[in-house]
Structure 1
Amino acid sequence: MAAAMWARVSSLLLLLLPFAATPSRAATPARSPPAYTAVFQLQGDVYPTGHFYVTMNIGNPAKPYFLDVDTGSDLTWLQCDAPCQSCNKVPHPLYRPTKNRLIPCADSLCTALHSELSSNNKCPSPQQCDYQIKYSDSASSQGVLINDNFSLPLGKSSIICPGLSFGCGYNQQVGKNGAVQAPTDGMLGLGRGSVSLVSQLKQQGITKNVIGHCLSTNGGGFLFFGDDIVPTSRVTWVPMAQSTSGDYYSPGSGTLYFDRRSLGLKPMEVVFDSGSTYTYFTAQPYQAVVSALKGDLSKSLKQVSDPNLPLCWKGNKAFNSVFDVKKEFKSLFLSFASAKNAVMEIPPENYLIVTKNGNVCLGILDGMVAKLNFNIIGDITMQDQMVIYDNEKTQLGWVRGACSRSSKSTMSSFP
């Protein structure tokens, strides 16, 4: 499963790198209005890959790296040969920083990063900005903040290469050193904080602080920074709410329905997190959904054990895709009171997967098992709809459409 959320950490494990200091970067005044939108193709899927990732070209000369797309965290980081103390096997050669790329402790982004992670973080040296960040699954990355060029594809085949700050991770704790094959080279943090890449692009006047992604049930899709391709109609918009569980993207509290019937639950706070493969509900809504599904299933489906997910069923013959069995299930709905007619439909293909064993499994998981006390809308539920995180207008939007591998062909399905 892809990593879901960053957990707050109470202290940093610090390690000095033998780099020379670099002067603090001067703040770049924002142009008005920002002019560009960058579009990236995505790879990956909910099953069996477990995450969606983008190829980012970083450095000069630029080299490709696979980054896990995560709207639930702010910091972008790469596994990094600085030298590497503990790294996993990754798809590409480790990123190698140069001496003049270090971000000093006094830099405003370092201050912001430490503020987001913990209130008592300190730099062991004024020459560099150290960090340690932990996932909810106890994995972690430790490193230093650096700055390098990112190649951003713009319209008409043009490319812009701004300098952006990100983490050089030289100590990753995921299994034993090098024993775990990591599917990506690092993380693309697209959260709301100032360390987020899109916040930095906004500060430099390159794009507006708007993010969108379109994840395909067939795999792949696309990601964009900026607002040029945001549809002008049919989008359901809700104000961004202040999440009580952290600085996540949240549409606020929604009331959950099964087949348009009330489940008798109180409104539940949800957050959108592309770094979570599956959707997670806390105990009460999870049990209500499971009970509703089981009470509505035909007798042709039998519950079966499957190593991929906790709750699965088999049919009279093996299923090839969700579309073979979706008629046996009903849609869920989340109705948000913060905006008029703001309803997110969750059809069966947005909460079910078919495993390699030919079973159909529930892709909504019990958040209590994962030690979560809030509800997450993950990749499985965001498939085949464009999801828009508009930090300019502090609103979230979604509109259904086929998210194919080509952004050009996909855009024809949106107004």
Structure 2
Amino acid sequence: MAACFVSSSIRICVSILLVVCLLVSGEAVAENRHYATVPLSSLVGGASSSSAARAAAVAGHGGRDSVIRVVHNPNFRLLDQSEILRRDEARVASLQSRMIPGHQNGVTKRELSASSGARIPTTSGLNVGNGNYLVTVELGSQRKKLQLTMDTGSPLTWTQCQPCATSCYNQPDPIFDPSASSTYSNISCSSSSCSRLFAVPQSCPSDNACRYSISYGDNSTSGGQVATDTLALTSTVKLPNYIFGCGRDNKGLFNGTDGLLGLSNDGIFSMVTQSASRFGKYFSYCLPPSTNSAGFLAFGNTTERSLNSTSLGFTPLVTVPENPSFYGIRIIGISVGGVPLPVSSSRILMNSSSIIDSGTVITRLPAKVYSALRSAFRKSMTRYPKAPGNVLLDTCYDFSKFSTITYPRIVINFSGGVNVDLDISGIFFGDSTQMCLAFSPGTINGLLIYGNVQQRTFEIGYDVAGRKLEFRANGCS
């Protein structure tokens, strides 16, 4: 550091050289806009918010036709990091299986035993993920409250129903009872709605009820009747005759949720399609950065936004030929500490199939792009002791002896001129003794998945009809 000191007659050079010396030594200063210094407490657990503040976050978006509070699943915090990442790997494998031609809706046909008297199709690859972001809605004339996982990668909304034909998993709320709802109705197997659900025609069972069967990547399953009932998003916004899955046989690792809210662009049964006449195929959400804070899910577009949020612009929604129900995006570059990754990385990014997904936790990058990102990040973090990696993440640090952390900002460049400067909660994943870079190399077919960690704190608006995606910074405030 001695070489950095100069005479007081050239003070302006002192400050410039000081920045250079600090960066070379692996440190950064808060004044450098490409680096940030934050208290460790803001990284571990995040700042808590009062119930009044959480309510205000939702009320601040009251110009929407409907706004629903989004929170972390309370059971999510009970899972250790390895289990969360193991389930995330299953999620990614499932999404990639749906990139196979002919599996746009994840639908295959399975022949049951002759004694069943019916052929029931099985949808595969719709992994429910970690179930870490929940919304509360109401179903039926009795307005039964349901806590559902919001999922942009799945089409069909479903919940468990009484009576359970075979088995039901434990859920936090009483199971929905169709017989108690005067607005409930099963869909006929011979109806056009049922035939549109399956890629392969099914033979009707003796009771003529339309049935579904979903198998997830972690071997969890849900099956039952396809039915309609009134779905209430808020106390005043209702969707009559909403098509959903009434699950009679459900088992697996659903993480204490009551089911799933499908938000994909399937064009048939997702919330986006079924509410199109009212909300114009527009929805947005902001995922909270920690289990102590809340975000929102909103339907319908409006110019009213939180006063603290700032639009970063619009990037086109790209059609994914292998599966049009996915929300395709185009990432064209990444910078670390103000330095863009090599041009070769940008070329790889632009030639990759890329989607944004609310159910995937960790963003998956093409292997060579991840390698370049990791190398640049490590060069800026040499002052911190390394920690062992884990099943998915290999760039980890032990921050337990530090009160503040200085890290390089990571900016994701989307087509259309949208540059997303990630929140700190979108860069690190873990705890103080093992805090890891929250990116991972993709698997075999190179599908790039922009996960929910990187989406935290931004309001992300899906203009499905207009084929564009908006990012707004400070979206949850």
Instruction: Calculate the TM-score normalised by the size of structure 1.
Output: 0.74
- Alpha-carbon distance in 1 for matches of 2:151, 2:270: 10
**Residue 136 of structure 1, CA deviation:** 3.5
**Residue 59 of structure 1, CA deviation:** 1.2
**8 Å CA contact retained: 2:284, 2:298:** yes
**Cross-structure match for 1:252:** 330
**8 Å CA contact retained: 2:166, 2:248:** yes
- Alpha-carbon distance in 2 for matches of 1:287, 1:120: 45
**Cross-structure match for 1:200:** 274
Quick one: which of 447, 450, 455 aligns to 1:374? 447
**Residue 367 of structure 1, CA deviation:** 3.0
**Cross-structure match for 1:27:** none
Deviation per CA, 1:81-107, whole angstroms, max 9, x where unpaired?
242423211111222223962111233
**8 Å CA contact retained: 1:71, 1:191:** yes
Aligned amino acid, residue 160 of structure 2: Q
Matched, 1:111 2:195: yes
**Cross-structure match for 1:301:** 385
- Alpha-carbon distance in 2 for matches of 1:12, 1:93: 32
**8 Å CA contact retained: 1:245, 1:374:** no
**Residue 318 of structure 1, CA deviation:** 6.2
**Residue 109 of structure 1, CA deviation:** 3.0
Aligned amino acid, residue 345 of structure 1: D
Aligned residues: 350
Report the 3-state secondary structure (helix = DSSP H, G, I; strand = E; otherwise coil) of the residue aligned with 2:187: coil
**Cross-structure match for 1:362:** 437
Describe how 1:9-20 pairs up with structure 2 within 5 A.
Answer: 9-12=107-110
**Cross-structure match for 1:383:** 456
Report the 3-state secondary structure (helix = DSSP H, G, I; strand = E; otherwise coil) of the residue aligned with 1:241: coil
Q: Judging changes above 3 Å, is the alpha-carbon distance between structure 1 residues 401 and 347 closer, same or farther for their aligned structure 2 residues?
A: closer
- Alpha-carbon distance in 2 for matches of 1:315, 1:183: 32
- Alpha-carbon distance in 1 for matches of 2:377, 2:242: 47
**8 Å CA contact retained: 1:332, 1:347:** no
- Alpha-carbon distance in 1 for matches of 2:254, 2:474: 34
Report the 3-state secondary structure (helix = DSSP H, G, I; strand = E; otherwise coil) of the residue aligned with 1:334: strand
**Cross-structure match for 1:39:** none
- Alpha-carbon distance in 1 for matches of 2:322, 2:396: 30
Matched, 1:172 2:250: yes
Quick one: which of 132, 136, 140 aligns to 1:55? 136
Mean CA deviation greater in 181-190 or 67-76:
181-190
Quick one: which of 314, 318, 321 aligns to 1:241? 318
Q: Judging changes above 3 Å, is the alpha-carbon distance between structure 1 residues 129 and 328 closer, same or farther for their aligned structure 2 residues?
A: same
Report the 3-state secondary structure (helix = DSSP H, G, I; strand = E; otherwise coil) of the residue aligned with 1:234: strand
- Alpha-carbon distance in 2 for matches of 1:112, 1:72: 18
Matched, 1:343 2:419: yes
**Residue 335 of structure 1, CA deviation:** 3.3
**Cross-structure match for 2:368:** 284
Quick one: which of 243, 257, 261 aligns to 1:188? 261
- Alpha-carbon distance in 2 for matches of 1:211, 1:182: 25
**8 Å CA contact retained: 2:395, 2:437:** yes
**Residue 189 of structure 1, CA deviation:** 0.3
Aligned amino acid, residue 364 of structure 1: F
**8 Å CA contact retained: 1:70, 1:191:** yes
Quick one: which of 155, 159, 176 aligns to 1:74? 155
- Alpha-carbon distance in 2 for matches of 1:387, 1:255: 19
**8 Å CA contact retained: 2:341, 2:373:** no
Which runs of 5 or more residues in structure 1 are unaligned? 16-45, 175-179, 404-409, 411-415
**Cross-structure match for 1:261:** 340
Quick one: which of 299, 302, 313 aligns to 1:228? 302
- Alpha-carbon distance in 2 for matches of 1:188, 1:13: 28
Report the 3-state secondary structure (helix = DSSP H, G, I; strand = E; otherwise coil) of the residue aligned with 1:332: strand
**8 Å CA contact retained: 1:260, 1:332:** no
Matched, 1:330 2:414: no
Aligned amino acid, residue 286 of structure 1: Y
Q: Judging changes above 3 Å, is the alpha-carbon distance between structure 1 residues 310 and 13 closer, same or farther for their aligned structure 2 residues?
A: farther
Q: Which has the higher helix share?
A: 2
Quick one: which of 226, 246, 264 aligns to 1:145? 226
- Alpha-carbon distance in 1 for matches of 2:435, 2:283: 32
- Alpha-carbon distance in 1 for matches of 2:161, 2:402: 44
Report the 3-state secondary structure (helix = DSSP H, G, I; strand = E; otherwise coil) of the residue aligned with 1:242: coil
Please say which structure displays the higher CA radius of gyration: 2
Mean CA deviation greater in 302-311 or 256-265:
302-311
Q: Judging changes above 3 Å, is the alpha-carbon distance between structure 1 residues 147 and 67 closer, same or farther for their aligned structure 2 residues?
A: same
Aligned amino acid, residue 471 of structure 2: W
**8 Å CA contact retained: 1:13, 1:132:** no
Quick one: which of 221, 238, 248 aligns to 1:160? 238
Q: Judging changes above 3 Å, is the alpha-carbon distance between structure 1 residues 348 and 358 closer, same or farther for their aligned structure 2 residues?
A: same
- Alpha-carbon distance in 1 for matches of 2:446, 2:202: 26
**Cross-structure match for 1:406:** none
Deviation per CA, 1:27-58, whole angstroms, max 9, x where unpaired?
xxxxxxxxxxxxxxxxxxx9xx8611101111
- Alpha-carbon distance in 1 for matches of 2:240, 2:207: 25
Quick one: which of 327, 335, 354 aligns to 1:270? 354
Report the 3-state secondary structure (helix = DSSP H, G, I; strand = E; otherwise coil) of the residue aligned with 2:178: coil
**8 Å CA contact retained: 2:396, 2:434:** yes
Report the 3-state secondary structure (helix = DSSP H, G, I; strand = E; otherwise coil) of the residue aligned with 1:292: helix
**Cross-structure match for 2:282:** 210
Q: Judging changes above 3 Å, is the alpha-carbon distance between structure 1 residues 245 and 231 closer, same or farther for their aligned structure 2 residues?
A: farther
